Amino acid sequence: MSPLIEVTNLTKTIKGKQVLSEINLRLEAGNIYGFVGPNGSGKTMLLRAIAGLLYIKYGSVKYNSSLFKGVIIENPAFINSFTGLENLRYLASIRSTIRDTDIKATMKRVGLDPEDTRKVRVYSLGMKQKLAFAQAVMESPPLLILDEPTRGLDSESVIMVREILYEEREKGTTALLASHNQKDISSLCNQVFFLDSGRIVDVL
């Protein structure tokens, strides 16, 4: 059976520096995969490449089908003059696959009030991170690519993110998770890849 995602000999050089070197992965559907390593190890670059946000010249990233993805990479941008609900409505209008009730339910699910009239410009870091998580999961994508999804969240909100990821995995969702939070990795992931200097140096 073909893997959901197959990465073959992926190598990336930026401004003369090799940021990814001969990465090979076979990722199966319905699992949560963890990516860990020190700052600059290549975690974010690898997730960007898998998400289709990085030009690939050497090697390949292949999916066994066309997949809609929910993505958090670094700091997602929102329209500061919109409320959280207005931002999610705008994003949802691109595909028009969910209703307003679905958007509001997702906001409540991640701990945001859909009736909050404050603009995103005054959101705290934690609120912006919850909004980013909401946009990633609201359309129930079969693949989640999440770079530090619990960054800036309090302990209660971190538990909430973990619980949602458990629930999504039970539905058959595949997730790729980069995190410095060891508990996120140890409690959630079926398999963990350790990166250093753009290479996978260990697998658990």
Q: Is the full-model pTM beyond 0.75?
A: yes
Residue 15, classed as helix, strand or coil, is coil
Over residues 107-130, the pLDDT tens digits come to 999 999 999 999 999 999 999 999
Q: What is the mean pLDDT of the chain?
A: 95
Closest to 50 measured CA to CA, from 169, 133, 146? 146
pLDDT at 181 over 90: no
pLDDT at 177 over 90: yes
Length of the chain: 204
Distance CA 129, CA 200 (A): 28
Residue 201, classed as helix, strand or coil, is strand
pLDDT for 66 equals 75
String of DSSP letters for 26-54: EE-TT-EEEEE-STTSSHHHHHHHHHT-S
Over residues 57-92, the pLDDT tens digits come to 999 999 987 789 999 998 889 999 999 999 999 999
Q: Give the pairing of strands 5-14 and 17-27.
A: antiparallel
Over residues 14-51, the pLDDT tens digits come to 999 999 999 999 999 999 999 999 999 999 999 999 99
H/E run at residue 137: helix 125-137
